[in-house]
Homo-oligomer: A and B are copies of this chain.
């Protein structure tokens, strides 16, 4: 809580994470331009902050060391007395979720205290039942001596259900690139041995051999290591060698020369580093088939759900820590794909990484500080081709790594990658591309022009800031329909497990159903006249019970509150306002759109009809919509195999016009108009019928 920047007499729980400024609820809805002028930076989107405590808290001076032991991982950390269990978990490399980066507002970092002395901050995010079972929030529990804790089942990360990971989809990828042109090429040569009449140096002889295969040797670099090993490598197998050559934008380089000309298949990696989840495809570079795939949660989640929290964390703890977390996630997934394929990491010679600008900076240990400060400048938009070894990626140390370029601090390589896959930048049709995540990115255009913008949509669609919100993993309610008579829900759960929470697609379904069935009103408030066994008071709020305790994995009611609904409305409002203003800037309106492509972390399915009902998507011809799975990973796959797509990525990134909304009152107007279900101007949604 903090004082509203506009009305200092009002304590507010809405905070702009970008500017660390509070704004009261009145202000949030107010459309008076006079009032908005009072803000130093007029950031459009504000998040609920239940407790900012701890964010800038100074460390305890007293440095008594305590041991914290984690079951069932059997990991231990030594940490200063007074530190939180979350700090201890991070130090012990125990991976638990902490969506709000330790602010005590998300309630995700649950642990069970087995023994030891701790000081606990009181929290409303644990039920009495949980408290009885010794549940604590890791970030709100401070060690006072040696402590033993257990990570409960619901805190242990489950396998992600990533759209686009099925065999069918990976098979479809294979056809996307016909002419495979890896960055790092392996060339087998059989050279003529030197004689007195042909006494050229070993390197010149190698160049001559490469030239015969069509290599451009005039622009060829070579490093000391290769030179040092060259004489032996060339002679060991009687002038038969395998040469690895990297093709770069402006020069080529010989990366290795090894004796013999028998070699293992060359593999490649297409990696999507999302703020939330990471996807790895292991690809056969000969035929482009996806040999195996794996996905998991970005371990950086321990530092918060969104990029702003990650940047703050990097500023406080050093960028190396965040890089290490991302690398640990990526490298574990690579190991998984390798063991599934029975392959060795040294076979991996080509890597493409797609991620938003902050993810790319953090991975490479480039401080992202200025991305979150006006005017939101990234250090690098277009990265040179790097080597896996210098980044720390588990691949052959000299494997070529291409990082997808991104045009702006808040529109990154993941969006460019998505465009490569969606391909509308090659077509005539006017297309709207929407990637809904914690950061909502929007691209509008066709083959002639591209405009892009981003808006802080908040983590709601990915489970953040929602009482029982979770990602699309086992136990997530992904589909909901409500009986109009009994108001009882029918739910589908990922993995056919007992429900543990609700993911993005489930929330869209739920809100749409509650709106259409008259359980909530267009303000997102429960109708006061409702009385039903599914309604209950939860922490002083009215809530709808999605699943009763006896049906759920944790034996707790899974509920959806007005606060939860409000989080969703803020998110969908930001996205809707985003593309509305972008269209407007281009002098267009919805009727002119020929295609709308949606991608994001909702889950495997997205019900377009219901997304329109809640006002996330515009009310236009349903045939224009398509929902892509993980477009970022698919685009990375395409760039992995194709020189043309890699060059195209650079072109897209350079040609996009980025529109910044942070100073736009037009955006603010559209945003506040969109904070209703489906919208303040119901005439924009003629096909939505609500009770």
Which residues of A are at the interface with B, using a C-beta cutoff of 8 A?
Answer: 194-196, 198-204, 218-224, 227-228, 230-232, 235, 248-252, 364-367, 369-370, 374-384, 386, 390-391, 408-409, 658, 660, 662-663
Cα A224 to Cα B221 in complex, Å, equals 18
The residue in A201, A386, A390 that gathers the most chain B C-beta atoms within 10 A of its C-beta is: A201
Q: Enumerate the 10 nearest inter-chain pairs by beta-carbon distance, A residue then B residue, closest first.
A: A219-B250, A201-B381, A251-B251, A250-B251, A196-B375, A231-B379, A202-B379, A203-B380, A201-B378, A194-B377
Contact yes or no, B250 A218, CB < 8 A: yes
Shortest Cβ distance from A309 into chain B, in angstroms?
A: 19
Contact yes or no, A375 B195, CB < 8 A: yes
Contact yes or no, B409 A199, CB < 8 A: yes
Cα A374 to Cα B367 in complex, Å, equals 54
Contact yes or no, B367 A231, CB < 8 A: yes
Cα A353 to Cα B181 in complex, Å, equals 38
Shortest Cβ distance from A30 into chain B, in angstroms?
A: 24
Contact yes or no, A220 B377, CB < 8 A: no
Contact yes or no, A379 B203, CB < 8 A: yes
Shortest Cβ distance from A184 into chain B, in angstroms?
A: 16
Residues of B within 8 A of A249 (CB): 219
Contact yes or no, A662 B203, CB < 8 A: no
Contact yes or no, B196 A380, CB < 8 A: no
Cα A202 to Cα B231 in complex, Å, equals 42
Known contacts A219-B251, A250-B219, A250-B221, A200 near B230 by CB under 8 Å: no
Residues of B within 8 A of A408 (CB): 199
Contact yes or no, A375 B194, CB < 8 A: yes
Supplied contacts A199-B660, A223-B384, 13 more A-B pairs, CB within 8 Å: A194-B375, A196-B660, A201-B377, A202-B370, A204-B381, A224-B391, A227-B366, A227-B379, A231-B366, A231-B369, A235-B370, A250-B252, A251-B251
Known contacts A203-B379, A204-B381, A377-B202, A367 near B232 by CB under 8 Å: yes
Q: Which residue of B is nearest A319, CB measured?
A: B228
Residues of B within 8 A of A224 (CB): 364-366, 386, 390-391
Shortest Cβ distance from A357 into chain B, in angstroms?
A: 9
Residues of B within 8 A of A230 (CB): 366, 379-380
Residues of B within 8 A of A198 (CB): 375
